[in-house]
């Protein structure tokens, strides 16, 4: 990386404050950056490092005081950082070619500029789009399709007839098109239901390590364009995920559930089957979703509830020890009153006798 502060500002639509010809040669975190590097500050927890950072410049929101430290002011500092890293720090594209030690079926179609590393298998009638890179251990099944400029990292599996759009990134261990979890009860045994459908992945999707997208029993499991799924996410057969939704690690979505566009699903969320999650909904970490969720709703807890209801419940739980003491005291008081009343009744009955 080598660019001036002014050049960086122009690339990301930021305002440069400081020497325009200041040369930046790298990017680093605020606590580790050194001379020549640019850093960033978005989380106030890291503001304590600002006075002693070794960085030559910093990316901040407009109006943020950085003292004498040169800065780029951007409305979205994190996005500005991402664009700088993509522009100047991206690893070089592997040289095109099909390496020895790979297998590409003669009936497969391989576009221009494709790189196929050793250990790759491309099956009959499969299609690989231009400029795509298949790293060692990738498996592309019969009649599967991978779009242009995709990156499939080691040990990614795309099974038969499944389809990936353009610019898809699959991190190591992703499995697309494995059988859905479908079994019919047969007495005390389970009879496997053949999974006849496919999985379809849109453009600009990223699936991170060991995420699984099952094929549908019939029809298609659909991941629309722009979706980002973190490590160890399970998307079951027949699931439909809307455009630009993000799903954090260890989340599981059961079969035939539909998730709307621009939803945010935090880590370790469990979503039951045959539900509808509305556009723009947010499911917070470890939420257990058992019912449909309205568009834009924020859901918390186990089982998942709306924000206001959940906060009332948590407030009541926090007061539970004190409430328990009061209830026990009232029980003792009632028992004492009952004992006294019993004595009074006995005395009155004795007098009447």
- Residue 4 structure tokens: 């001036």
pLDDT at 254: 98
pLDDT at 78: 95
Rounded to whole angstroms, the Cα distance separating 40 from 57 reads 8
Long-range contacts of 51-58 (CB under 8 A, 24+ apart): 55/28, 55/30, 56/22, 56/24, 57/5, 57/18, 57/22, 57/24, 58/30
Please, is 161 exposed, middle or buried when counting C-beta atoms within 10 Å of its C-beta (0-12, 13-18, 19+)?
buried
Burial 314-353 (b: 16+ CB within 10 A, else e): eeeeeeeeeeeeeeeeeeeeeeeeeeeeeeeeeeeeeeee
Rounded to whole angstroms, the Cα distance separating 301 from 282 reads 12
- CATH class, range 98-308: mainly beta
* Whole-number Cα distances in Å, 156 to 139, 174, 210, 213, 240: 6, 5, 9, 12, 21
- What is the bridge-based pairing of β-strands 228-229 and 145-146? unpaired
pLDDT at 342: 85
Which three-class secondary structure state does DSSP give residue 109?
strand
CATH number of 3-88: 3.40.1390.10
Q: What is the pLDDT along the chain (353 residues), one digit of tens a residue?
A: 899 999 999 999 999 999 999 999 999 999 999 999 999 999 999 999 999 999 999 999 999 999 999 999 999 999 999 999 999 998 889 999 999 999 999 999 999 999 999 999 999 999 999 999 999 999 999 999 999 999 999 999 999 999 999 999 999 999 999 999 999 999 999 999 999 999 999 999 999 999 999 999 999 999 999 999 999 999 999 999 999 999 999 999 999 999 999 999 999 999 999 999 999 999 999 999 999 999 999 999 999 999 888 888 888 889 999 999 999 999 999 999 999 888 877 776 666 65
Beta strand ranges found along 103-156 (DSSP E):
103-104, 109-110, 115-116, 121-122, 127-128, 133-134, 139-140, 145-146, 151-152
Catalytic residues: 237
Are the beta carbons of 100 and 82 closer than 8 angstroms?
no
Rounded to whole angstroms, the Cα distance separating 149 from 115 reads 10
pLDDT at 353: 59
pLDDT at 352: 66
Q: Which residue ranges make up each domain of the chain? A: 3-88, 98-308, 319-353
pLDDT at 264: 98
pLDDT at 270: 98
Q: Which residues contact 83 (CB under 8 A, 6 or more apart)?
A: 11, 12
């Amino acid at each position: 990386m080598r660019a001036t502060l002014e050049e960086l500002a122009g690339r990301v639509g930021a305002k440069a404050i400081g020497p325009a010809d200041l040369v930046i040669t790298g990017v680093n975190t605020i606590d580790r950056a050194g001379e020549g590097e640019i850093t960033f500050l978005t989380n106030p927890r890291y503001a304590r490092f600002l006075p002693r950072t070794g960085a030559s410049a910093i990316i901040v929101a407009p109006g943020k005081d950085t003292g004498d430290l040169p800065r780029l002011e951007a409305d979205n500092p994190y996005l500005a950082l991402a664009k700088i890293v993509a522009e100047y720090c991206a690893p070089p594209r592997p040289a095109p070619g099909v390496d020895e030690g790979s297998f590409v079926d003669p009936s497969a179609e391989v576009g221009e500029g494709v790189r196929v590393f050793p250990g790759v298998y491309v099956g009959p009638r499969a299609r690989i789009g231009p400029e795509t890179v298949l790293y060692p251990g990738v498996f592309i099944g019969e009649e599967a399709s991978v779009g242009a400029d995709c990156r499939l990292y080691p040990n990614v599996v795309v099974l038969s007839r499944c389809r990936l759009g353009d610019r898809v990134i699959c991190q190591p261990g992703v499995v697309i098109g494995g059988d859905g979890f479908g079994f019919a009860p047969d007495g005390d045994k389970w009879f496997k239901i053949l999974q006849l459908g496919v999985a379809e992945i849109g453009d600009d999707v990223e699936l991170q390590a060991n995420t699984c997208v099952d094929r549908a029993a019939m029809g298609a499991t659909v991941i629309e364009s722009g979706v980002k799924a973190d490590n160890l996410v399970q998307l079951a057969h027949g699931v439909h995920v809307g455009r630009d939704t993000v799903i954090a690690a260890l989340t599981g979505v059961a079969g035939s559930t539909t998730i709307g566009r621009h939803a945010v699903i935090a880590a370790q969320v469990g979503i039951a089957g045959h539900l509808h999650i509305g556009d723009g909904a947010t499911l917070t970490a470890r939420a257990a979703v058992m019912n449909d969720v309205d568009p834009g709703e924020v859901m918390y807890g186990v089982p998942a509830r709306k924000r206001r209801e959940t906060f009332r419940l948590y407030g009541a739980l926090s007061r539970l020890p004190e409430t328990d003491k009061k209830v026990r005291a009232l029980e003792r008081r009632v028992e004492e009153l009952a004992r006294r009343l019993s004595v009074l009744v006995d005395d009155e009955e004795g007098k009447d006798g």
